[in-house]
Amino acid sequence: MASDNEQLNNVQDDAEAVEDIVNEDEKQESSIAKSEFCDLPHGEAMKFSETYRITASKRVNLILLAGEVGSGKTTLLSSLFHLYQRGPYVGYLFAGSDTLIGFERRCHPARTSSENAAPETHRTLRGNTKSFLHLRLRDKNTKYCSRELLIADLSGEDFAEASHSVDDAKRLVFIQRADHFVLLIDGDKIADSTSQRSARNKAMMLLRTLSDSGILTGDSNVDIVLSKWDIVHSRLQEDPSHQMFIDELNSDIDKKYGKRFARIRYFNIAARPSVTSSDIPLGYGLEQVLPSWVEDNKRTEHREYALNRQNASEFNCFAERVLRGK
Amino acid sequence: MSKHKQFIMGLPGAGKTTFLAALWHVLESNEVDAKLKLHKVHTDHAYLESIRNLWLDAKEIDRTAISDEKYVSMLLKNGDDIAEIIFPDLSGESFRQQWAEREIANIHAEMLEGADGCLLFIHPDKVVDETLISEVNEIVLREEATSQEPEDPWDPIKSPTQVQLVELLQFSAYINKRRPIKLSIIVSAWDLLISKYQTPSQWTKKHLSLFWQYLTANPEIYETKYLGISAQGGGLDNADDLRKMTPSERIIVIDDDKKQSHDITLPISWIMEQ
């Protein structure tokens, strides 16, 4: 007969064996539970590589929002989504988006549900590769098929680097693919005599570098957008000379680049006025610019090929060197 | 003979269980002339009877007060045509999970795949809208923002209802590979809206505009019918009045042509029509 110690050891061995079986069963249940579910599309802003499934099969317009930190790129995007939540906008119906989560993340800080005291927009982090938001729109008056928009919301810091050197700018080669290059200039800084000159200089430097590097070329459609127009408008009441500064800035851009790009247009936008009014409502100015973003595009013979094949490796190189940080 | 499969969807509290209770009563009682008749039930009758009894007594169908039955399936017939109606999750939590967790139970995906139609429930009192800080009265903001508490991080559950509904439909299109589908949009508790809105699509266009636009802009995928349904027939604070009525005649079903009836099988029979 086994001794007491042996019996105790046997009981302990049995208990450990049972525990092992229970743990194994739990693991199996967990793996079974996990295998009972399948993943759905993530809905976040896309990496460039993820845009292929849209660009490969549909007519897509690529809009690139550029500008220094805080100029209003992300706010413009979130306001556009806010507007569509209220109704059809400028003759287009919302027909879907593969990046609803991406839009929602950007919209949240401006909503009362965020419990912020004032509307905010989170800064797009430098090196953020998930930069492309998707919007599908449909003209409500025609039988045309839907139009796909891919709007790239890149970090202002990435553009700041690009404005300093042609080599850095050349890494932004995907800008060549953009149907619309939109340069946002911070209206809050332009309408402030302590910051307007540097703000002007930064905008001009970025245009110059992108043009000198061959990124912006003779078939580029460029929109110059003065953001935060509600603030500009208010400051103009106090100091009308700011308007002269703005006019001179636009005139200088026209003189230097008017013949180098296919088209340059100028807009004043208040994507999210600090206090909305009937004069400057939510999305003021967007109604002027959105229709052409939807309808106009660059048509090059090998555009589809370029987007899907040739430039993939170029963009990946860019992503590795710049967007992920040095 | 044709066989259809219909899938019931809706976020928590959208009115699916109350609809089921009323539907079960109409099918069982034959009090009103419904287009569809009961062919077979795949669910425990005890559960259906328990929610039916609560409905008959004009009491709130509190899910916590009854057994935890999430899945219901039944076969209804119109002549030789049979429709399989599947309520995959009466609680609606799985639909919320699809939006928040970005995953779907394989069994739900299998049920959805090959569905000929869906009934999507929306409760007007449960709609979460978005309000921008910039549009809130400045005085209210100052009063409410007295503390320096950190910003509330984004939680997908807080997203506006219409955004979640669009995504649910996008998921169903994704699973069905964008195959055309018939969709009955049911605005439940229609008794709350009947005096303010003439048609359910009118309410949807105003209060769920993004969702309405999405359906309107995708006719190749969705053939849509809007219905306003009050399964209870009125507020439960008027329960005494409701109990005096013939139960099936409490039910209000109204379509976008403003045709009104008690036939709660209409959203299902419409999907069966060729």
Per-residue confidence band for A320, with pLDDT thresholds at 50, 70 and 90: very low
For residue A182, what are the β-bridge partners?
A65, A223
Per-residue confidence band for A27, with pLDDT thresholds at 50, 70 and 90: very low
* Nearest residue to A178 via CA among A213, A156, A151, A154: A151
Count CB neighbours of A205 within 10 A: 14
For residue B8, what are the β-bridge partners?
B119
**CA distances in angstroms from B165 to A96, A100, B209, B212, B265, listed in the order given:** 11, 11, 11, 10, 23
Residue A34, H or E segment: helix A4-35
pLDDT, mean of residues B227-237 = 93
CB contact (8 A) between residue A115 and residue B149: yes
Cβ-Cβ contacts under 8 Å, A278 against chain B: none
Higher pLDDT, A11 or B205: B205
**CB of A223 closer than 8 Å to CB of A180:** yes
Nearest-by-Cβ selection for A274 from B130, B134, B217: B134
Q: Rounded to the nearest 5°, which phi and psi values hold at A64?
A: -110, 120
Contacts of B152 (CB under 8 A, 6+ apart): A113, A114, A115
Shortest CA gap B134–chain A (Å): 5
pLDDT at B265: 97
Written as six digits, the tokens of B86 are 């599947």
In the predicted structure, residue A317 carries a pLDDT above the cut 60: no
In the predicted structure, residue A155 carries a pLDDT above the cut 80: no
CA distance A119 to A103: 16
Is some CB atom of chain B closer than 8 A to the CB atom of A276? yes
pLDDT, mean of residues B201-221 = 96
Average pLDDT, chain A: 80
Shortest CA gap A101–chain B (Å): 8
- Helix-, strand-, coil-residue percentages of chain A, each rounded to 5: 50, 15, 35
Per-residue confidence band for A244, with pLDDT thresholds at 50, 70 and 90: very high
CB contact (8 A) between residue B133 and residue A42: no
Is some CB atom of chain B closer than 8 A to the CB atom of A85? yes
Interval B124-150: pLDDT, tens: 999 999 887 777 655 555 555 544 445
Average pLDDT, chain B: 89
pLDDT at A299: 60
Cβ-Cβ contacts under 8 Å, B208 against chain A: none
pLDDT at A151: 95
In the predicted structure, residue B80 carries a pLDDT above the cut 60: yes
CB contact (8 A) between residue B102 and residue A110: no
**CB of A63 closer than 8 Å to CB of A152:** yes
CB contact (8 A) between residue A38 and residue B98: no
Higher pLDDT, A67 or A16: A67
Cβ-Cβ contacts under 8 Å, B149 against chain A: 115
**Chain-centre distance for alpha carbon A138:** 21
Cβ-Cβ contacts under 8 Å, B109 against chain A: 38
ipTM above 0.95, yes or no: no
Shortest CA gap B218–chain A (Å): 6
Per-residue confidence band for A274, with pLDDT thresholds at 50, 70 and 90: confident
Higher pLDDT, B44 or A293: A293
CA distance A16 to A10: 10
For residue A226, what are the β-bridge partners?
A185, A268
Sign of CA dihedral A54, A57, A61, A63: positive
What's the residue count for chain A? 326
By mean pLDDT, which of A238-247, A266-275, A317-326, B107-116 is the weakest? A317-326
Q: Rounded to the nearest 5°, which phi and psi values hold at B196?
A: -105, -25
pLDDT at A300: 43
| Single-letter amino acid code for the residue at A72 | G
Burial class (CB in 10 A: 0-12, 13-18, 19+), B229: buried
pLDDT, mean of residues A66-86 = 93
CA distance B164 to B183: 17
